[in-house]
Homo-oligomer: A and B are copies of this chain.
Amino acid sequence: MIFDAIDRKLLDYLQADSKQTNKELSNKLNLSVTAVYERIKKLEREGYINKYVALVNKQQVDRAFVAFCHIKLVQHSQEYVVKFEKEVAKIKEVLECYHISGDYDYLLKVLVKDMHSFREFMVKKLTTIDHIGSTHSMFVINEVKHTTAINI
């Protein structure tokens, strides 16, 4: 399968706004509506596009307080790691969790209402998970850039 310049542009457009009609895209790409349709189906089939989602305004739903939490486990046995990852993935406030290199084991992105609810999250949800050694939290003062679009 050949992924060409048109496919790249199409991915750009769909990453920016997936609600554009095939007719709009066909104008931008100088193709017929059917050609656009077939290319999109191909991108979906070949796994370039994972899914289509609505992005929600976190201010509007009262989840504008963003924190990053570093976490160290007390031990790194298979059992502890699997358990921790399973538990942390279940917490709705945790949108992202990465196993990372460096001083800490994990980096979490956490969305809550405010500092008070962050404390609630730490006490009631995060630190109730077993085997956590230490944590270190950083709070987002300002979101300078935030995109889901991969620019290839």
Contact = CB atoms under 8 A, between A and B. Distances in A.
B63 A57 contact: no
B98 A56 contact: no
A57 B62 contact: no
Number of copies: 2
A7 B24 CA distance: 29
The size bracket of the interface on A is 35 or more
A55 B52 contact: yes
Contacts of A101: 138-139, 141
Interface string A30-70: 00000000000000001111111111111011110010100
Contacts of A143: 96-99
B48 A57 contact: yes
A111 interface: yes
Q: Which of A62, A88, A147 has the most CB of B within 10 A?
A: A147
A16 B104 CA distance: 31
Given A52-B54, A53-B148, A68-B100, A60 B46 contact: yes
